[in-house]
Structure 1
Amino acid sequence: MSVSNPTLITFVIYIAAMVLIGLMAYRSTNNLSDYILGGRSLGSVVTALSAGASDMSGWLLMGLPGAIYMSGLSESWIAIGLVIGAYLNWLFVAGRLRVQTEHNGDALTLPDYFSSRFEDKSGLLRIISAVVILVFFTIYCASGIVAGARLFESTFGMSYETALWAGAAATIAYTFVGGFLAVSWTDTVQATLMIFALILTPIIVLLATGGVDTTFLAIEAKDPSSFDMLKNTTFIGIISLMGWGLGYFGQPHILARFMAADSVKSIAKARRISMTWMILCLGGTVAVGFFGIAYFSAHPEVAGPVTENPERVFIELAKLLFNPWVAGVLLSAILAAVMSTLSCQLLVCSSALTEDFYKTFLRKSASQLELVWVGRAMVLLVALVAIALAANPENRVLGLVSYAWAGFGAAFGPVVLISVIWKGMTRNGALAGILVGAITVIVWKHFELLGLYEIIPGFIFASLAIFFVSKMGSPTAGMVQRFEAAEKDFRLNQ
């Protein structure tokens, strides 16, 4: 497609606004805590929307609508699993993790929290968990850069190489300058843009296809099985799709939002806002793909791009049904979804390198200003590695997203969840949980056992390892004392 002026202008205005927010956040960033966790100052609305936006990457507006368009409602099980998993994460982990990190050395990162919570003097927990974060998130970042490049490539007719840098540059800019506050504030804007796009688009598609009854009749005429939630599914297939929800307990970029909340009192309100946003967004996503079946069966002459690549269904509907200026805003929502996740992942990698390697092992006496600038340098370093991984458009990086989600979910999920609800957990139990979870995911994925998504056995085996290994020893008096103080704090303030 040749450059469309309204769409291009809309993209430029949107990107400029994100960078401006980064510059505003720069003025509020005085130390490493500000850069990594925003000085634990996020209110409930920003906590809620940034947690949601950081989770929902380009698959929300490209991958899932494409799957629904191709296969019908049977692909929506993943959305159901994600809603359940996110709700349980908010309910059991969010508030408790906020107080536990504060009571355990005011931890700024997950490796920092594990190290303090379990009094790990050897540094082994910190090193292993930081390495897990760096490996999986660098791959994750690369997948986000590929998705952004695909959007610029298809919207503006750029070469893949140019689109790669164009898509990554804006995200790197505001993350580099403003750190966590910039990422969280821009996430809030991006979450608003995403929900606007996902509520408006299916309504306009419905009107264009003649209303609810006509649309449903058209879908039924095309393929009656599109309505069947169990079409081409098995019990293991449904469990695997819903198993995605388990991943929430171990995603460092989402857990960082809980740690950064201004208080436990903000969490309950944030949970209600975030879950409402998430349900509306996922509902809109399913509706876009589903109603798209009716629209393109009624207009086969414009269905070529979607037939070639179903993941373009949202892009094509936006371009066909809306004024170019409005289409530009809607297509910016895809960029928002990509940028919001990518920026969080860059920052988590930067914080792991700065807090868990540089400060801990290289420069214990480093000043706050030095640490902030090291954090910024690490954002650039991780971004450049991710761009190098994404440089080949034929690579399989995007396919590794589910692998990375499973890796985090199994390696960190049980450790985080059990550490905030059971005072009997020990350092060796945590170490066993991380190792068993990660190894199970790698082995299960390699052998593709039972056709079951690797996060499920990984999560179960890691949880069992934590319990049995912890039972072989006992936590120190200090660990129990801090746990009980944090739990008391949580119950008093929730």
Structure 2
Amino acid sequence: MYSENSTQVALIIGLYLAITFLFAFISGRRNKQGDFMEEYFVGGRQIGPWVLGLTWIATMASGGTFIGVPGLLYSYGWSVFLWIAGFMVVITTGFGILGKRIGQIGRKTGALTFPDLLRDRFESPAIGILSALMIVVLYLAFMVAQYTAGARVLEAVVGLPYHWGVIGFAVSVALYTAYGGFRAVAWTDSFQAVVMLLGVILTAWFAVDLAGGLEKINTALINESKELVSGPGPDNFLPLVTALSFFILMPLSQLGQPALVSRFLTFTDTRALKRAALLTGLYVCLMYPLIMLVGVTSRVLLPEIESPDHALTATVMMALPAALAGFIIAAPVSAIMSSLSSFLLVTAGAVVRDIYQHNVNPDLSGDKAKTLTHVMTFVITLIGVALALNPPEYLQLIVVFAGAGLGATFAWPTILAIFWPRMNRVGCLAGIIGGFGSFVIQYTTMGSSSLLGVHPFVWSFLLSLAFCVAGSWLAPRQSNEVLEIYFGERSRHGGKLRHATYDAVQ
């Protein structure tokens, strides 16, 4: 895959990286103008609609989107479309269900991180610590997938050895995240999201044209194997019940992603949230079908490649001039870097604020907070790099494991915490532990197909709900003083909202 054009491609990728560091430099200077913790973790709550929408997209669209998804489509054909189709409605679940309410609570309570929301709602340091530990464990798995994806891109297009690619991605992302904080992550995410969309549009256009059009692509797939154009795909990859469970998994698991939920702590007002939701919905409905089209087209153009995860990059290097190829290769690089920076920010925040500050040093602030946050960012980076040096075979499988695990762990505790006054700390702990434990047990014993062929997330999602409700009813109701903060008079009238006193985000 390495070609004579690789030097030019590498130079263009280098230029792209320089632009991201420029954003980090500018935002780092902004961080010096206000309270460090609020600026670093939520950007001073001054994020507008374009940046909010694009940073949400860039965080969601990880290396699995540009490397793992085309790799699965290369291997298993059009049936994977049923797996990915759930992404078409993630905006409805994310922005529609959680967005405004999280923003309201964040402003009223001063929450800066995802564990802040749960710890303060239930007056429980234990919930804060447990949430932070779960975030560290599961986002480390996510980061391994991103380091792997980034290294494979550089290995494929410029011939850089895998382990040096892992280290290069890790160092570059850690530097700009540590220096610029959330504002740097959000600004670079916005730039990266634009690069991603333009990149995938150009890739799909040139790849389909080179393959002779959709009809010829389907004919070639059928000639190779009819299973590539019909369900459940080669090797019974995606039976209908499994496909349906993935459609459930994709939108609902977004409700438990701390890196996405914490975005709703940052926007300026409700108008910004609504505009961001519209922008994000249009973006997703355009991007994901095109990525899937590239995946199946690569099977026709390059029937033999070293790894399915090289499908997109190999197609780009084969079909396009070096200058344009370098720009398009920046699309997966963008997806990887944007997700990594968000995961690092959330994970470092979980350790520094939710474990250390809230339990060891409540007076942490200023330069000491800044130093500790930077140190933890690089410590987490080193752990992720060490784990990524032994990469998984299929990138998307580890992405799904980490994403589904987070959703199973946090979705219901988050939803019920902000909408159900009867929810209490016992219910929250039971939901977190029950969701995570049941998911890990299923995944380790049965893999990605659990009882009745359903993905483990579905059962864990339902079990987490049952644990939340049972735990809440078995333990005493939370004090009215706390409930008044979150629900106003709703907390004293059987859950029916009457003249709620919590502040709307204006």
The alpha-carbon deviation at position 224 of structure 1 amounts to: 4.2
Cα 1:393/1:210, change in 2 over 3 Å: closer
Structure 2 distance, partners of 1:391, 1:62, is: 17
The alpha-carbon deviation at position 402 of structure 1 amounts to: 2.5
Say whether residues 1:244 and 2:249 are aligned partners: yes
Structure 1 distance, partners of 2:60, 2:333, is: 14
Report the equivalent of 1:444: 442
Contact 1:346 1:382 in 2 (8 A): yes
Cα 1:315/1:29, change in 2 over 3 Å: same
Cα 1:393/1:223, change in 2 over 3 Å: closer
Contact 1:139 1:397 in 2 (8 A): no
Contact 2:99 2:264 in 1 (8 A): yes
Report the equivalent of 1:477: 480
* Equivalent of residue 413 in structure 1, options 402, 411, 414: 411
Structure 2 distance, partners of 1:70, 1:76, is: 12
Contact 2:37 2:365 in 1 (8 A): no
Q: TM-score, normalised by structure 2?
A: 0.90
Structure 2 distance, partners of 1:340, 1:483, is: 32
Structure 2 distance, partners of 1:150, 1:292, is: 17
Structure 2 distance, partners of 1:236, 1:312, is: 29
Cα deviation 1:103-158 (Å, max 9, x = unaligned):
2x2111121111111122xx111111111111111222222112211222222222
Q: Aligned AA for 1:152? A: L
Q: Using the TM superposition, name which of 89-98 and 66-75 deviates more.
A: 66-75
Contact 1:101 1:259 in 2 (8 A): yes
The alpha-carbon deviation at position 290 of structure 1 amounts to: 2.5
Superposition pairs of residues 21-36 of structure 1, within 5 angstroms: 21-30=23-32, 31-36=36-41
Contact 2:64 2:145 in 1 (8 A): no
* Equivalent of residue 139 in structure 2, options 134, 137, 140: 137
Contact 1:424 1:480 in 2 (8 A): no
Structure 2 distance, partners of 1:223, 1:161, is: 36
Q: Aligned AA for 2:427? A: G
Cα deviation 1:386-428 (Å, max 9, x = unaligned):
1122223479997543222222111111111122222221111
Say whether residues 1:281 and 2:287 are aligned partners: yes
Report the equivalent of 1:62: 67
**Structure 1: segments with no counterpart, 5+ residues:** 297-302
Structure 2 distance, partners of 1:384, 1:225, is: 42
Cα deviation 1:309-329 (Å, max 9, x = unaligned):
222221122112111010011
Structure 1 distance, partners of 2:148, 2:319, is: 27
Structure 2 distance, partners of 1:221, 1:115, is: 57
Identity %: 25
Report the equivalent of 1:119: 123
Report the equivalent of 2:212: 210
Task: State the number of aligned residues.
Answer: 483
SS in 2 for 1:27: helix
**Structure 2: segments with no counterpart, 5+ residues:** 491-496
Cα deviation 1:300-342 (Å, max 9, x = unaligned):
xxx432xx32222211221121110100111111111111111
Contact 1:99 1:489 in 2 (8 A): no
The alpha-carbon deviation at position 250 of structure 1 amounts to: 0.7
The alpha-carbon deviation at position 468 of structure 1 amounts to: 2.0
Superposition pairs of residues 95-110 of structure 1, within 5 angstroms: 95-103=100-108, 105-110=109-114
SS in 2 for 1:412: helix
The alpha-carbon deviation at position 230 of structure 1 amounts to: 4.8
* Equivalent of residue 388 in structure 1, options 386, 389, 394: 386
Say whether residues 1:291 and 2:291 are aligned partners: no
SS in 1 for 2:111: coil
Say whether residues 1:15 and 2:17 are aligned partners: yes
Contact 1:22 1:182 in 2 (8 A): yes
Q: Aligned AA for 1:21? A: F
Cα deviation 1:433-480 (Å, max 9, x = unaligned):
111111111111122142432211111111111112212332221232
Say whether residues 1:337 and 2:335 are aligned partners: yes
Q: Aligned AA for 1:423? A: P
Q: Aligned AA for 1:480? A: L
Cα deviation 1:149-192 (Å, max 9, x = unaligned):
12222222222232221222211111011011111111111111
The alpha-carbon deviation at position 219 of structure 1 amounts to: 3.9
Contact 1:78 1:244 in 2 (8 A): no
Contact 1:32 1:369 in 2 (8 A): no
Q: Aligned AA for 1:280? A: L
Report the equivalent of 1:300: none
Q: Aligned AA for 2:263? A: R
Superposition pairs of residues 87-486 of structure 1, within 5 angstroms: 87-103=92-108, 105-120=109-124, 123-231=125-233, 232=236, 233-245=238-250, 246-296=252-302, 303-305=303-305, 308-393=306-391, 399-448=397-446, 449-450=450-451, 451-472=453-474, 473-485=476-488
Contact 1:37 1:180 in 2 (8 A): yes
Structure 2 distance, partners of 1:315, 1:489, is: 53
The alpha-carbon deviation at position 28 of structure 1 amounts to: 0.9
Q: Using the TM superposition, name which of 331-340 and 440-449 deviates more.
A: 440-449
The CA RMSD measured in Å over matched residues stands at 2.3
Contact 2:409 2:431 in 1 (8 A): yes
Say whether residues 1:77 and 2:75 are aligned partners: no
SS in 2 for 1:28: helix
The alpha-carbon deviation at position 193 of structure 1 amounts to: 0.8
Structure 1 distance, partners of 2:309, 2:395, is: 17
Structure 2 distance, partners of 1:205, 1:490, is: 52
SS in 1 for 2:112: coil
Cα 1:155/1:291, change in 2 over 3 Å: closer
Structure 2 distance, partners of 1:11, 1:211, is: 29
The alpha-carbon deviation at position 6 of structure 1 amounts to: 1.2
Cα 1:432/1:394, change in 2 over 3 Å: closer
Cα 1:135/1:249, change in 2 over 3 Å: same
Cα 1:176/1:84, change in 2 over 3 Å: same
The alpha-carbon deviation at position 491 of structure 1 amounts to: 9.1
